[in-house]
């Protein structure tokens, strides 16, 4: 695996403070390596967007980071502690080193400005040395990169299809050649064919421009196809992380297995779609022990009372999983399977 570009350790996020606080993220450990596409999957409410907002310091109240460490590693080896950057340092960091395409971003283009003016505004703000013709040339280049004809520069957002608007957002995110691009469910409003097209393009661009991607979605079948590694979240924790093909062939966490059986795979052998019984827990009523145990067909006794920590069932770095099925259960708890 290549060197890390972003390391998250022990990250905790709450919404609210004091007695009203609910834990949205718990003990998140995650590493993004240079040049890789890391997929983040999990049902609605599992904390995917909260994680994206927390690492980019865009979390707004009542969200608070209550612990942990997030570091960005420059190519020269210098590590930046993202949780202590000043507002000015953060402004320089965002877009230049890390950019984020938000959930629902295709609707966040300004309807009264042309694509040209929105793309060149980013350049104007961050590259004051660029002159107008250079900015226009770069805007054309960016549009071509994402597969849109340059004559659409003069278009207004409403004159573009949803897929095109999404690509414009991606072009904007790439404008300053950041090292990391985080895409938070950028494609849910698009049809499946368009989603795959955009993702395929992104992976190609990643090879061309050598950036790393965190791609967030609830549709794990897209991630199997396009990402190098996948981290799966449930109830604010990462429950499994492994190479995409390892997750596909041999998911170890019953929740990963459930997710894989919730979406039709586009390639490979057919799987029966069984889904996951029940629904995700609410933050204010998180089950004790493993948050997934009430929905889990394989729950053991300790699952209801003790939180399993991420461990390495195979030794080495290739896979981590937080599940009592795959680690030594606490001594006093007998591993009697439930019906
Ligand atoms: N501003 C907020 N105040 C209180 N709770 C919040 C706030 N924003 C999010 N939450 C809660 O935090 C949890 C995680 O939300 P988050 O948006 O990170 O989930 P997600 O995995 O991105 O879901 P989705 O797939 O629906 O986008 C949810 O239970 C949500 O209700
Ligand atoms: Mg979200």
Lowest-pLDDT choice from 13-22, 217-226, 326-335: 326-335
Type and span of the H or E element at 54: helix 48-55
Query: Residue 213 pairs with which residues in a beta bridge?
Result: 37, 181
Instruction: Return the ligand 1 atom nearest residue 51 CA.
Output: 18
- Calculate the dihedral angle through the C-alpha atoms of 143, 146, 148, 154, rounding to the nearest 10 degrees: -30
Binning pLDDT at 50, 70 and 90, where does residue 330 land? Answer: low
Q: For 216-269, what is each residue's pLDDT tens digit?
A: 988 888 899 999 999 999 999 999 999 999 999 999 999 999 999 987 776 667
Q: What is the pLDDT of residue 275?
A: 83
Please report the pLDDT score of residue 336 as a whole number.
Answer: 44
The percentage of the chain sitting over the pLDDT mark of 70, rounded to a whole number, equals 93
Helices 162-174 & 115-126 angle (0-180, nearest 10): 10
- Binned at pLDDT 50, 70 and 90, residue 14 comes out as very high
Whether residue 168 has pLDDT greater than 60: yes
For 139-143, 171-175, 262-266, which range has the lowest pLDDT when averaged over its residues?
262-266
- Selection from 30, 22, 41 nearest residue 276 by Cα: 41
Ligand 2 centroid to Cα of residue 122, in Å, is: 25
Closest CA to 252 of 221, 287, 215, 296: 296
Residue 100 DSSP one-character state = E
Do residues 300 and 338 make contact, with C-beta atoms less than 8 angstroms apart? yes
Contacts of 66 (CB under 8 A, 6+ apart): 12, 13, 14
Phi and psi for 10 in degrees, rounded to 5? 55, 35
**Rounded Cα distance, 339 and 325, in Å:** 15
pTM greater than 0.85 (yes/no): yes
- Among the listed residues 120, 104, 201, the one whose alpha carbon sits nearest the alpha carbon of residue 162: 104
CB under 5 Å of ion ligand 2: residues: 48-49, 103
- Return the CA Rg of the chain: 21
| Residue 90 CB neighbours (<10 A) | 13
State if residue 237 touches ligand 1 by the CB under 6 angstroms criterion: no
Whether the predicted pLDDT of 82 surpasses 90: yes
Among 3, 119, 123, 165, smallest CA distance to 72 is for: 3
- Please give the Cα distance from 283 to 175 (Å, whole number): 37
Ligand nearest to the Cα of 282, by number: 1
Looking at residue 219, its pLDDT comes to 82
Q: For residue 24, what are its two tokens?
A: 């949205």
The mean per-residue pLDDT over the stretch 41-67 comes to: 95
Would the CB of 281 count as within 6 Å of ligand 1? no
Closest protein CA for atom 31 of ligand 1: 45
Pairing of strands 229-234, 237-243: antiparallel
Place of tokens 């402004």: 91
pLDDT of residue 334 exceeding 60 = no
CA distance 171 to 185: 16
Considering only CA atoms, which of 224, 297, 216, 214 is closest in space to residue 263?
224
Give dist(CA 101, CA 186) in Å, integer: 7
Ligand nearest the Cα atom of residue 13:
1
CA of 47 relative to ligand 1 center, distance in Å: 6
Tokens of residue 121, six digits: 């505004």
**Mean of pLDDT over the chain:** 90
Span 67-82, average pLDDT:
96
Within a 10 A sphere around the Cβ of 5, how many other Cβ atoms?
A: 22
pLDDT above 90 (res 164):
no
Q: Which three-class secondary structure state does DSSP give residue 42?
A: coil
Query: Using a 6 Å cutoff on CB, does residue 258 contact ligand 1?
Result: no
Q: How far apart are CA 113 and CA 119, in angstroms?
A: 10
Give the mean pLDDT of 7-27: 96
pLDDT-based confidence at residue 270 (cuts at 50, 70, 90): confident
Ligand 1 contacts CB of residue 46 (under 6 A)? yes
**Mean pLDDT (whole number) for 143-156:** 93
Flag whether pLDDT at 287 surpasses 80. Answer: yes
Residue 49 near ligand 1, beta carbon < 6 Å: yes
pLDDT reading at 151 higher than 60 = yes
Would you say the CB of residue 62 lies under 6 angstroms from ligand 1?
yes
């Amino acid at each position: 695996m290549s060197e890390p570009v972003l390391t998250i350790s022990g990250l905790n996020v709450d919404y609210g403070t004091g007695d009203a606080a609910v834990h949205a993220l718990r003990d998140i450990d995650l590493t993004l390596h240079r040049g890789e596409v890391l997929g983040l999957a999990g049902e609605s409410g599992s904390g995917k967007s909260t994680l994206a907002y927390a690492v980019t310091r865009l979390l707004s109240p009542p969200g608070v980071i209550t612990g942990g460490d997030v570091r960005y590693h420059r190519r020269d080896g210098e590590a930046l502690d993202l949780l202590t950057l000043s507002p000015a340092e953060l402004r320089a960091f965002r877009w230049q080193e890390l950019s984020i395409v938000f959930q629902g971003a295709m609707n966040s283009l300004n309807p009264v400005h042309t694509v040209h003016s929105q793309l060149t505004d980013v350049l104007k703000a961050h590259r004051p040395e660029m002159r107008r013709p250079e900015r226009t040339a770069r805007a054309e280049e960016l549009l071509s990169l994402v597969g849109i004809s340059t004559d659409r520069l003069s278009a207004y957002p409403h004159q573009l299809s949803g897929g095109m608007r999404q690509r414009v957002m991606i072009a904007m995110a790439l404008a300053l050649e950041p090292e990391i691009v985080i895409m938070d469910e950028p494609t849910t409003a698009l049809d499946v064919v368009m989603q795959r097209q955009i993702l395929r393009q992104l992976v190609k661009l990643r090879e061309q421009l050598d950036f790393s991607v965190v791609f967030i979605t609830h549709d794990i079948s897209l991630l199997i196809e396009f990402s190098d590694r996948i981290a799966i979240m449930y109830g604010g924790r990462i429950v499994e992380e492994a190479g995409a093909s390892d997750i596909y062939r041999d998911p170890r966490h019953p929740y990963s297995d459930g997710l894989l059986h919730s979406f039709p795979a586009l390639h490979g052998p057919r799987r029966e779609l069984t889904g996951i019984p029940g629904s995700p827990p609410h933050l204010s009523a998180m089950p004790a022990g493993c948050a997934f145990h009430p929905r889990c067909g394989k729950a053991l006794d300790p699952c209801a009372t003790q939180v399993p920590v991420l461990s390495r069932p195979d030794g080495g770095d290739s896979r981590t999983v937080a599940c009592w099925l795959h680690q030594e259960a606490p001594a006093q708890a007998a591993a009697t399977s439930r019906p």
